[in-house]
Amino acid sequence: MSNPTKPINVVVTGAAGQIAYSLLYQLAAGTVFGPDQPINLHLLDIPVMMKVLEGVVMELEDLALPLLREIVPTADPAVAFKDVAAAFLVGAMPRKEGMERKDLLAANVEIFKVQGEALDKYARKDVKILVVGNPANTNALICSHYAPSIPKQNFSAMTRLDQNRAQAALAARLNVQVDQVKKVVIWGNHSSTQYPDAAHATVTLQGSTKSVPAALNQDNWLQTTFVETIQKRGAAVIAARKMSSAMSAAKAAGDHMRDWWMGTKPGEYVSMAVFSDGSYGIPENIVFSFPVTIEPRGQYKIVQGLPISEFARSKLTVTANELEEERTEAYKVLQKK
């Protein structure tokens, strides 16, 4: 029987890079959009990377995966963003040693302006956009600014890597399989100010479900070592690998988009950085990581009513302040455009 499902167009930027190299297999194999959804991959990178991208295309062809219908390598955003249903914005200007944050933001405004305008002009209006390239939250804000015809709730930034890291760290501490830990929340910015929060997390032990803080009974560890380890995990990977997280970042990008596309499991939530609507007293119009639930083929909803301790509130304030500062810097750059 032939598959009646029409292929969707999916764009990956920075497609010749490390993260994309791990991500593209997941997309082509059907682990993100489902085992019955054929896809056309649009691969965008800068002109000097086109030769490398040719090699990536050869490898994608050599996977011989039936869901992968067309591969379009390009340096032209008009081609890359044409009729896309999902966008993985992986390509960004990385922070170089000695680089000020405002210089990093200025370089990224340029990149995300071009991509935002291309999304606005060429993508489907229901496109789901995931920004992976850092500073991801503020890059998502900039991208949305230049794509006014696409609803703000279609933009998100990735904190799923932080959630996966936090879940793995708690599972190791509790000595359980990682899938026994649920409802870990990442609040705020995908930066060292983020707040990994285990207060609402649950763990299944010997068939019964308990709260993680009760099961661990180590509040001091949860508020210090745990938080700092997750906040600094990216830097620790760079120190060891001499390159930033790629395999784990790609897996997290796939997880994020799969849940957004397919919906979250009943009784579970995931962390996504999305436009703040004022929930939990977070200023509006910054892209802030919240716990969300998602209906299949639906929109995400920010989980409401979680109790926030004084300790947590102080952490949320720090990360929200940083995002407001980043927004101010980004808008300064925008006004010069």
Q: Is the peptide bond before 135 cis (omega within 30 degrees of 0)?
A: yes
200 is catalytic: no
Token pair, residue 137, equals: 């939250």
Catalytic residue chosen out of the listed positions 42, 190, 200, 256: 190
Q: For the packed helices 160-174 and 247-262, what is the interaxial angle rounded to 10 degrees?
A: 100
Three-state secondary structure readout of 135-202: CHHHHHHHHHHCCCCCCHHHEEECCHHHHHHHHHHHHHHHCCCHHHEECCEEEECCCCCCEEECCCCE
Taking Cα atoms as reference points, which of 127, 9, 120 lies closest to residue 70? 9
Q: What distances in angstroms separate CA 165 from CA 156, 161, 185, 194, one per listed residue?
A: 19, 6, 11, 13
Residue 35 DSSP SS3: coil
Residues 227, 207 contacting (CB under 8 angstroms): no
- At position 129, the amino acid (one-letter code) is I
Sign of CA dihedral 31, 33, 35, 39: negative
Q: For the packed helices 160-174 and 233-241, what is the interaxial angle rounded to 10 degrees?
A: 90
Return the DSSP state at 36.
T
Q: How many CB atoms lie within 10 A of CB 332?
A: 13
Residue 63 DSSP SS3: coil
Catalytic residue ranges: 190
